[in-house]
Amino acid sequence: AGHEDYYWGMGNTAEAVANEFKISREDQDAFAYSSHMKALKAQAEDRFQDQIVPIEVHQTYVNESGKKATKNYTVYKDEGPRKGTNLEALAKLRAVFAQGGSVTAGNSSQMSDGAAFVMVVSENLMKELKLSPIARLISYAVAGVEPRIMGIGPVKAIPKALKQAGIQQSELELIELNEAFASQSLAVIRELDLNPELINVNGGAIALGHPLGCTGAKLSVQLFDEMRKRKMASKFGAVTMCVGTGQGACGIFEFLN
């Protein structure tokens, strides 16, 4: 196949980032642990409650008697955060993408399913339909990096989006970073000198999951809801992510309501 440099498994890119940007296994595990702790705390405080629409599930299965049975239950919260996790348990996990590597199932985002919905309209249509806006998308930028280290995409995308928006990095009050892997999250934070206290304040994808095709909308919802809870009218927040094959993306929002 042509352009073979594009063909990098996501876990292998995480290892490449860890090596190139000198992200230690200990730091990756500590970041993952923090993600779970923040998510568990947020769940205990019902901080996700206003973001989630409960879904009724009807599951058909074969019981111990070999007969079909149906189980009905409601999915009302994310299942990823693990109460029993700790640094000792994370340290025992084996690297899964490279022999002698540092990226494990514990410091990587989880495979999960999910859906999210965000309505984006022009100001004219908003007025015509008499909608009450939550936030204003003031800039959006994408950038390219080497596919081998795709996880650092936000390092290039965030400055572009800030320049388009006409604001400084220091004006960002909250940041939602996709947290595909602890290694790439830490590399982005360190390369841009981002304030860790502003990033994924209620946990990230390592704890909550990283449903493909959903992340941009999901993180936007999380950002808006947290800004609402903090009464951050006229304040700025960012949603940013890395993308396979070497893309970074970032949207800058002004919270309105």
Q: What is the pLDDT of residues 151-203, one digit of tens each?
A: 999 999 999 999 999 999 999 999 999 999 999 999 999 999 999 999 999 99
* Token pair recorded at residue 131: 């909608």
Q: What per-residue confidence (pLDDT) applies to 105?
A: 97
Mean local confidence (pLDDT), 125-142:
97
Q: What per-residue confidence (pLDDT) applies to 212?
A: 86
Q: For 19-73, what is each residue's pLDDT tens digit? A: 999 999 999 999 999 999 999 999 999 999 999 999 999 999 999 999 999 999 9
Which of the listed CATH numbers 3.20.19.10, 3.40.50.300, 3.40.47.10, 2.60.40.60 matches domain 1-257? 3.40.47.10
Q: For residue 189, what are the CA distances in angstroms to 55, 71, 197, 198, 220?
A: 35, 44, 11, 11, 19
Domain ranges of the chain: 1-257
